[in-house]
Chain A
Amino acid sequence: MNTSPQLGENQKVIQTITPKKRKLRNNLVAYAFISPWLIGFLFIIVGPMLYSFYLSFTSYDLLSAPRWVGFDNYVRMFTSDPRFWTTLKVTLIFVAIAVPLRLIFALTVAILMNMGHRGSGFYSLIYYVPSIIGGSVAVAVIWRQIFGREGALNAVLGWFNIEGYNWFAHPDYALSVLILLIIWQFGSPMVIFLAGLRQIPKELYEAASVDGANRFHQFFKITLPMLTPVIFFNLIFAIINGFLTFTQAFLITAGGPIDRTLLYALYLYQNAFEYFRMGYASALAWVLLLVIGLLTAIVFISSKKWVYYESEGGK
């Protein structure tokens, strides 16, 4: 930014400067503008990433210097750490169930709100409220109580003489309770779906109903195809966020019972900041990046087959 105030004066002598010099100065000005990000990118993203890659081949406890161990961390992960496989399995199940349900729920509610009944503004506010509090500690407090043994859910079940459990202490239900929490916070994809729905031209539906297409046909032939770019967007971000889910599992179940809710991000945290196995945790982080990268790549590549862009004439 220091270079830019002089630019005004220099403008008057612009003819005397060679194009090469001008180009250089333009570059300097531009780099001054992007420098905050560029410095951050180099020192808090790229540098740490490279260092983390190096650490993943070491054994490091923060106290003594990192000790080179070659591929040991990766070998151990795949051959002699059963908890790694547990955490991978739990996370994949979690993502595979929570992400589609969350999106289906968000889309269904968005469609209901877009039906032209009055009060949709009010409803969308109400439905969005759980999402603004995101992964806060307060949500964990609420969830722990409601699904606890003496919690609100069991009180309601009690009216029907149904005996409840301590839901997240039960190996079969703990993960479902976390999944329910993710579904409950469907507000952001809902708002994005709603914006997408409002952009579908009304004429398409009118033309379709003239041709005798019923609601069912209209949904599968018009609504769904027109929404595919938005579905794609929501899917990518839901998958990434699903893999990064941490706070809820950390605070509500701490990975239990018997590791049934040991989400990957939680296991990574435990290794790094509870067991101080920084090298092993770095290796875990790189495997996580690889898994997320692979899944997003699959979604990206497959999207060519199912995402419909109007501007490309439906190709």
Chain B
Amino acid sequence: MLNKKSKTSSIIYHTFMIGLGFLMIYPILWMFASALKPEAEIFHNAASLIPSELRWENYTIGWEGYGRYGFDLFFKNSMIVTSFVVLGALFSSSLVAYGFARLQFKFQKILFACLLGTVMLPIQVVIIPQYILFHKIGWVNTFLPLIVPAFLGGSAFFIFLMVQFIRGIPRELDESAVIDGCSQFGIFWHIILPLCKPALITVTIFAFMWTWDDFFTPLIFLQDTKLYTVALGLRGFMDPDAMTAWGPLIAMSSLSLLPQFILFIFCQKYIVEGIATTGLK
């Protein structure tokens, strides 16, 4: 039974936590509410979370996009880029991690140190020569600079995460497979990979979230409006020279976050565990 003192402290606690929680998600609630407000109300009843009337056309107008390109195209582009990046991250992180975690080879220690070094390497240091390189081989203004690095172990973080995970799998499993005449690739494919499911899910979720979110790389490598991802499409909407159509802009902003929110709702357990155990993001 709760005594009186702990009951009061519990009330104070929950009041505080709910109050702070409200402040935390207010901007997001505000966005979803404002997406349905008439244009004038976004500014004249700015703090309100309840639209006086529901303007669903903010979504339909926003969806039309601008110029000849609608948001259906931007979503499709984002989907293509994100899917390939996820595939690339799964492919390279699992193979490379198996190599580092289970095999012995020359220069292993020094290469692993290089891998860890790249985890902390600021992208700004390599982005200029990368741009020049991709420019020279004609990849600028295609999806290739966004996708190909993912297949080449682009995010060292994921490899590191997989290495840590594979190291936790008992070695006896692969040893018995060796006795049965299984090749290294066979061990990787039939034994290790199925056991890595939780780590692979974590990689999938974070690769998806980060790529979907990413603004910097598409900004640098994509120029044609028809190649724009959702992030670039939104930015084109907030044209500083023209009058920004706030209603449709906010409506499209809220749509742009939906894939991440949906993923978060369904996979929050993996996300929280993934961050807690590996310190991602």
Chain A residues with a Cβ under 8 A of chain B: 1, 4-8, 11-12, 26-27, 29-34, 36-41, 43-45, 47-49, 51-52, 55, 62, 109, 112, 115, 117, 119, 123-138, 140-146, 150-156, 184, 188, 191-192, 194-195, 233-234, 236-237, 240, 243-244, 246-247, 251, 254, 265, 268, 272-273, 278, 281-282, 285-286, 288-289, 292, 296
- CA of A247 to CA of B98, assembled, Å: 35
Any A CB within 8 A of the CB of B58: no
- CA of A1 to CA of B281, assembled, Å: 31
Q: Which of A30, A41, A43, A272 contacts B105 (CB 8 A)?
A: A30
Whether A127 pairs with B104 at a CB distance below 8 angstroms is no
Whether A127 pairs with B184 at a CB distance below 8 angstroms is no
Known contacts A8-B182, A45-B118; is-contact A36 B96 (Cβ 8 Å): yes
Query: What string of 1s and 0s marks CB contacts (under 8 Å) between B85-114 and chain A?
Result: 000000110011011100111101001001
Whether B92 pairs with A8 at a CB distance below 8 angstroms is no
Whether B115 pairs with A37 at a CB distance below 8 angstroms is yes
User: Which partner residue on chain A sits nearest B154 by CB separation?
Assistant: A40
Whether A152 pairs with B46 at a CB distance below 8 angstroms is yes
Whether B31 pairs with A138 at a CB distance below 8 angstroms is yes
A198 CB to nearest chain B CB (Å): 9
Whether A36 pairs with B151 at a CB distance below 8 angstroms is yes
User: Which partner residue on chain A sits nearest B45 by CB separation?
Assistant: A155
Chain B residues with a Cβ under 8 A of chain A: 10, 13-14, 16-17, 20-21, 24-25, 27-28, 30-31, 34, 42-48, 91-92, 95-96, 98-100, 103-106, 108, 111, 114-115, 118, 120-133, 135, 149, 151-154, 156, 159, 178, 181-186, 188, 209-210, 213, 215-216, 220, 230-231, 234-235, 238, 240, 246, 249-250, 253-254, 256-257, 260-261, 264, 268, 271-272, 275-277, 279-281
User: Which partner residue on chain B sits nearest A130 by CB separation?
Assistant: B24
27 contacts between A and B (CB under 8 A): A8-B181, A27-B105, A33-B103, A34-B111, A36-B95, A37-B96, A43-B152, A49-B129, A62-B135, A119-B14, A125-B268, A126-B24, A127-B20, A129-B28, A129-B261, A132-B261, A133-B213, A135-B215, A136-B257, A137-B253, A141-B234, A150-B44, A151-B43, A194-B276, A265-B124, A285-B124, A285-B125
B152 CB to nearest chain A CB (Å): 3
Whether A288 pairs with B115 at a CB distance below 8 angstroms is no
User: Which partner residue on chain A sits nearest B100 by CB separation?
Assistant: A34
Whether B28 pairs with A240 at a CB distance below 8 angstroms is no
Name the residue in A132, A138, A233 with the highest tally of chain B Cβ atoms < 10 Å from its Cβ.
Answer: A138
- CA of A291 to CA of B10, assembled, Å: 46
Q: Which of B105, B130, B231 contacts A48 (CB 8 A)?
A: B130
B residues near A146, Cβ cutoff 8 Å: 27, 30, 46
User: Which partner residue on chain A sits nearest B261 by CB separation?
Assistant: A132
B residues near A27, Cβ cutoff 8 Å: 105-106
- CA of A296 to CA of B117, assembled, Å: 12
Known contacts A33-B96, A112-B17, A191-B272; is-contact A251 B235 (Cβ 8 Å): yes
Whether A4 pairs with B184 at a CB distance below 8 angstroms is yes
Whether B253 pairs with A188 at a CB distance below 8 angstroms is no
A residues near B46, Cβ cutoff 8 Å: 145-146, 150-152, 154-155
